[in-house]
Amino acid sequence: MQKDVLFEIGTEEIPSIYLTDLLRQLEENTRSVFSEFRTTFSDIQICGTPRRMFVHVSELKEFQQSYTEEILGPPTKIAFDEEGKPTKAVLSFLEKNQIEMSDIKTKETPKGERIFLEKLHEGNKTIDILSSALITLITSLSSPKSMRWQRENFQFVRPIRWILALYGEEIIPLRLQKEELIGVASCLPEFSNKTYGHRFLSDQSLEVKDFDDYIRKLNENYVNPISYKDNPGGRFKIIEKEVLSAASSLDCIPALDKDGFEFLVEKVSNLVEWPKIVQCQFDERYLNIPEEVIVNTLESNQRFFALKDKRDENITSHFIAVSNLEAKDMGIIKEGYERVVQARLEDAEFYWEKDLAISLEVMSEKLNEVVYHPKLGTSMEKVIRFSQLSAYLCEEFYPNEKDMKENVLEISKLCKADLTSGMVYEFPELQGVMGKYFARIQGKNEVISNAIYEHYMPIRDGDEVPSSREGGVVSLSDRFDTIVGLIGLNYVPKGSEDPYALRRTTTGIFKILSSFGLKIDLSKMIGKSIETFGDIFSKNQEDILERLDVFFSSRVHAFLMQNTNRSDLVESILSIDNQTAWRFPLEALAKLNFLDKIVDNEMFDDCSAICKRIFNITKKEVLSTNEKNGGDFGLEKVNDSIFVKEEERILFKQLKDSIEKTNKVLESTANTSIVSLDEMKIRYEKIFEIMFALTVPINKFFDNVLIMDDDKLIRENRFNLLMCMRSFFSLLCDFTKVQK
């Protein structure tokens, strides 16, 4: 017999930013917990509102699954005496498990033959274990911040006010055996067959028979519990459809792009249980304020939908709110929303006009009064530091671009100025945006204005990098200063904790380097950045450098893993050059992109097989790969005058030719500090073709030449030849670490 389970956790209002993740956890954990309790079902449905999360488990079987446990006994050699009679060891095993001799069997194990018992555990009635499973499910949910409302130590995202728990139409009885679950249950309301309607429109208890009755009664009492994005009757689709319809009736479209719009719809759907669309409007005089301020005021602060004109896509004074109430006179709610927006826009207008009277240079001077970090100085000191890095990057990558360097230095000086403005004080999310507007109004050129805003990019995964080289340089400098300063103070991210978003900041560095093709040496850049801190890091500099090396190498590894599903390829790239390949992230990414393309090719298999053979012979030796222009990869240690076999002469000649060809390929970009990923991939493709051409003479060499010759000079000479080949092939990767 099969019955459905309906389980609802009723709470105080859950923050909208937590709800989506809690529902994801609830689905994952329900499957794992019910699997752990050996229950079988056909489907799971998980939904929620700000006041509730529910689980609907379909066709849960009446009994747990039975299972057989294998219990090992003593080895057979001590289980029976010489006459074949059971020893004391066996008798103790029988007594302990309450079985007869006929119940035991023997089997081979890694430690020899042993006796064993197959013990069948019959499944209990599902209803008897459901309370334990559901309490376990509650304790499995976590959130960034939790609350405690009882004397006991139990915490949850918000206080739990009711729990609906049905198996079929029967209230699930509380039958707990584990002490820790009993402790949790003492902090919770009793399991019941009751839920509650909308807090303001129908806040009464509702007796529920089953899932269909639950959905029907909640809808009758102004609660739409369905939160699935793709459910046409769910809150997400209702809000999305009605907002777009209301916007269209005003000849408008949402101000946000598609992704931003969907994200806001999701946040709003997590704020309401019974969504009602309200068309609103603010005074058109506020349209003189920058568009981003209006959009931010409406969407970030109030979760309202800003609208643009369909024809010219200019921001309009219309906006759409989503109410959690259905009133007889929705005009009262409309007036309330408009009054809130009016107050916020009045503040914005005041700060905007006040800030326009101050130049960016004066704002920048005020950074002397802003503490960036007690141990790292003021924001102005930070600006001075990364300005030096910006100058260094210009000299390194754009040495002949005088105008560019002047722009970069001005951008560095002004890009943090708006942090002292009234607008950014009131609307912190608009840092950079306001700086861009102030710069334009004060006559700065577009390169400077845009870079003041774009130097913060990318902020999140999927964001674009700065559009200009100037913005890219300043963004890199600012990020390096942040990472080196905070890691230098030992703010190293641990586990999931990264309060200063240093991992994301580092990923932004790699994205900018990749986008602009900057062949940067991370180790060198770290050193330059440390120099700008002066005496701050004069002590324990070796420890600081080691921390930074470990941090950056781990982030390069993570960045490469974002671009492949082959961890072995990443390891094969980062393990060369004595584990220092992380210093050149652009080269590492180009190698990865190329290897990902050819790893399943037969040519790669041939190279890999040869490299593994070479490595096995030379693995005790320390390899120092020489990737410099004109490098011979150790070929000078090979004496071709003492060759005995024709195969080694041929191999030496072809290896020498291959190294010369490779060095010409390397020379083509050796003195170029800016190379695109595509160009670098072509370079590695040419090098690989040169390497592959050596597979035939190498195989003939191994077939006909004995490495361990009796003559010491010949033996060492052949060994040096192998070391040269190993060094040469390691120019691309460590083939031995690639799993096939």
CA 353 – CA 350 distance, rounded (Å): 5
Domain boundary among 161, 193, 220: 220
Shared domain for 671 and 685, answered yes or no, is yes
* Domain assignment present for 72: yes
Whether the CB-CB separation of 356 and 441 falls below 8 Å is answered with yes
DSSP codes, 203-249: --EEE--SHHHHHHHHHHTT------TT-TTSHHHHHHHHHHHHHHH
Shared domain for 108 and 160, answered yes or no, is no
Domain boundary among 220, 250, 268: 220
* Domain assignment present for 81: yes
pLDDT of 463:
87
Shared domain for 688 and 711, answered yes or no, is yes
Count of residues in the chain: 740
User: Would the CA dihedral through 82, 84, 85, 91 be positive or negative?
Assistant: positive
Q: Tens of pLDDT along 449-475?
A: 999 999 999 988 888 999 999 999 999
Shared domain for 33 and 176, answered yes or no, is yes
User: Helices (DSSP H) in 432-468: which residue ranges?
Assistant: 433-441, 446-454
CATH code of the domain containing 686: 1.10.730
Shared domain for 653 and 639, answered yes or no, is yes
* Domain assignment present for 369: no
Ranges of residues in the chain with a pLDDT under 50 are: 625-630
Beta-carbon-side half-sphere exposure of residue 646 (alpha carbons within 13 Å): 0
pLDDT of 625:
47
What number of other Cβ atoms are within 10 A of residue 418's Cβ?
27
Shared domain for 201 and 142, answered yes or no, is yes
* C-alpha 724, offset from chain centre: 40
Amino acid occupying residue 89: A
- H/E stretch holding 112 reads strand 112-121
Distant-in-sequence, close-in-space partners of 540: CB < 8 Å, separation ≥ 6: none
Shared domain for 539 and 414, answered yes or no, is yes
Shared domain for 275 and 406, answered yes or no, is no
CA 71 – CA 64 distance, rounded (Å): 21
Shared domain for 514 and 590, answered yes or no, is no
pLDDT of 621:
64
* Domain assignment present for 567: no
CA 384 – CA 362 distance, rounded (Å): 16
pLDDT of 66:
76
- H/E stretch holding 24 reads helix 16-36
* C-alpha 464, offset from chain centre: 17
* Domain assignment present for 380: no
In eight-state DSSP terms, residue 401 is -
- What's the structural domain count of the chain? 5
Shared domain for 164 and 300, answered yes or no, is no
Give which of 242, 208, 241 is closest to 225, Cα–Cα: 208
Shared domain for 420 and 519, answered yes or no, is yes
* Domain assignment present for 568: no
Whether the CB-CB separation of 386 and 478 falls below 8 Å is answered with yes
Whether the CB-CB separation of 278 and 334 falls below 8 Å is answered with yes
* Domain assignment present for 372: no
Residue 339's domain spans which residues? 235-356
User: Would the CA dihedral through 171, 177, 178, 179 be positive or negative?
Assistant: positive
* Domain assignment present for 576: no
Shared domain for 398 and 531, answered yes or no, is yes
Distant-in-sequence, close-in-space partners of 700: CB < 8 Å, separation ≥ 6: 647, 650, 651
DSSP strand pairing (160-167 vs 112-121): unpaired
Give which of 213, 21, 41 is closest to 133, Cα–Cα: 41
Domain boundary among 562, 590, 606: 562
Q: Give the start-end residues of each E strand in 122-216.
A: 160-167, 170-171, 191-192, 194-196, 205-207
